Amino acid sequence: MTFSYIIVGAGSAGCVLANRLSENPDNTVLLLEAGGPDVNPDIRIPARWGYLMRTQVDWSYQTEPQVNCNNRVIDWNRGKVLGGTSSINAMIYIRGHRWDYDNWAHLGNEGWNYDAVLPYFKKSQNQERGASDLHGVGGLLNVADVDHFSPLSDIFINAGVEIGTPKNDDFNGDTQEGVGRYQVTQKNHERHSAAMAFLKPALNRPNLTLETHAHTTRALFEGQRAVGVEYVHDNQIKEARAEREVILSGGAINSPQILLLSGIGAAEQLRQFDIPVIADLPGVGQNLQDHPLLPLVYAAVTPPGRDTSLTSPAYFEYLRSKTGYFTENLPTIGGFFKTRPEYELPDIQIFTTYASGGEPFDFGLYVSLLRPKSRGYLKLRSNNPFHYPAIQPNYLEEDDDLQTFIDSIRLTRKLAQTQAFSGFLKAELAPGLEKQSDAELAEHVRAMLATTWHYSCTCKMGADAMAVVNSELQVHGVDGLRVVDASVMPEVIGGNTNAPVIMIAEKAADMILQGA
């Protein structure tokens, strides 16, 4: 089989690319997805996304033991299904701060400053609030307001205003700082994943071929040019050829793994596993970044409850009329805060949600560290493409990250101790108000730190010795091969990563079609 383009991974980026590249009937496109179709009904129902973890639609990765987190192994969930993680995430639509993209350009990536990428955010978007200078309508991705809110929503917003944080009705507007209600990637009160938004409308095109349960094992080369891929499908090893380009969109874990298996990476690591070296790129799998997440958990005066089981009356209400709290993405509200007033940018994101599924607490306030200084890596365990790579995020390796979390606990407590929370809050269960010193709060951080699922930066763009792709997302040292996904971020943006990945793919599609 020969195609113009082969796209590996039908996640957020891959679905966008498949749509845009196949718009031209002269292009033939093969899209390979290791997971299966997005038929699990919980994918559609906003409040049920938590039930998708550790199922067939989840890669169910785990980190290496985290030395600075009591040697704990931390679950890293990733979508293994059409739509990728956009089919299992909390649907929050956040672009990040203007500074993030201007910083990418400052790091040597021409064309990635905020003013240059904004048109691609707008292109993808159908903003239900209407068009503006910063928002688009008519795009394929529906961006909506959640229209069912718990009492906790107003409590949180009022608490933020009470401690001097402005109310913010649009975190993707002129300013990011503030408290408010999230917008979500939903349409008609259902999840609007990248598969639903971009892939499904294109599947009837005769020039687009989709294969699910197709696990790509490596890119194929003639000399220094990528000419196709090898993959396993129906228990058979198959090959497909690409006349123009192979595009890896497997995300921050799978894309560097495929590069390494293909002979692109640190030569020493490749030789260790008898993989012939195509290009010695030491940055492949390095620079791993994530937004670590910390919960503070509480008991309420009157436990509010959110029964999201399939026996809940709210479930049947949702089936009947698409109303009620099953339309919520659960973390419906949040905010961007500065732990220190002298900071130019928000450095933490706080959101709240009710507990569900029998947890021994009523609600949580969750802190996500937006600009962590710790850097990790990913490396092969073997040359077997079905062996999961070793994932080492090095959480809290930098002392500044731990101190920011300690500061964030104190800020979060200010929220919880406001008049707004006074009639709702019963007790702080963890870490517990008896713990006040830096050392005691650090114990809570090390014991409870998790992930916000924003894995990125393992194939960073740039021109330095550790860069993997250039500013056109072409892999250094070879021809015919690009990476288009969260792994190309040189630094993780200060916010949720799904909308930025869709933007990256929109911009990449334009570059590819224009011959860049």
Tens digit of each residue's pLDDT (9 = 90 or more) over 405-426: 999 999 999 999 999 999 999 9
383 CB-contact burial (10 Å; exposed 0-12 / middle 13-18 / buried 19+):
middle
Say how many residues make up the chain. 516
Q: In the structure, what pLDDT confidence band is assigned to residue 354 with cuts at 50, 70 and 90?
A: confident
Determine the straight-line distance between the first and last CA of the chain, rounded to whole angstroms: 25
User: Model confidence at 38, in pLDDT bands (50, 70, 90)?
Assistant: very high
E runs forming strands in 301-339: 333-337
Task: Quote the Cα angle for 369-404-94, to 5°.
Answer: 20
| Whether 364 contacts 295, CB under 8 Å | yes
How far apart are the C-alpha atoms of 118 and 112, rounded to whole Å?
A: 9
Q: Is 444 an annotated catalytic residue?
A: no
> What confidence category does residue 151 fall into, taking pLDDT thresholds of 50, 70 and 90?
confident
CA separation for the pair 396, 372 (Å, rounded): 9
Residue 124 near residue 479 (C-beta atoms within 8 A):
no
The pLDDT of residue 91 is above 80: yes
Q: 3-class SS at 377?
A: strand
Tokens matching residue 350: 């706080």
- Measure the CA–CA gap between 388 and 76, rounded to whole angstroms: 12
List of domains in the chain: 1-67+74-144+188-290+383-395+454-516 (3.50.50.60), 147-181+292-369+396-448 (3.30.410.40)
**CA–CA dist 202, 35 (Å, integer):** 19
Q: Could you say which of 97, 192, 291, 454 is catalytic?
A: 454
CA 485 to chain centre: 10
- Tokens 């793919």 belong to residue: 505
How much is the pTM? 0.98
Q: For 342, how many CA atoms within 13 A lie in the half-sphere containing its CB? A: 0
Average pLDDT of the residues of the chain:
97
Main-chain dihedrals φ then ψ at residue 441, nearest 5 degrees: -70, -35
Question: What confidence tier does 150 reach under pLDDT thresholds 50, 70, 90?
Answer: confident
360 pLDDT band (50/70/90 cuts)? confident
* Pairwise CA distance, residues 213 & 6, whole Å: 15
* 432: CB partners within 8 A, 6+ apart: none
Which residue type, as a one-letter code, is found at position 331? Answer: P
What is the C-alpha separation between 482 and 204, in angstroms, rounded? 26
CA separation for the pair 323, 45 (Å, rounded):
11
Q: 109 with 462: CB under 8 angstroms? A: yes
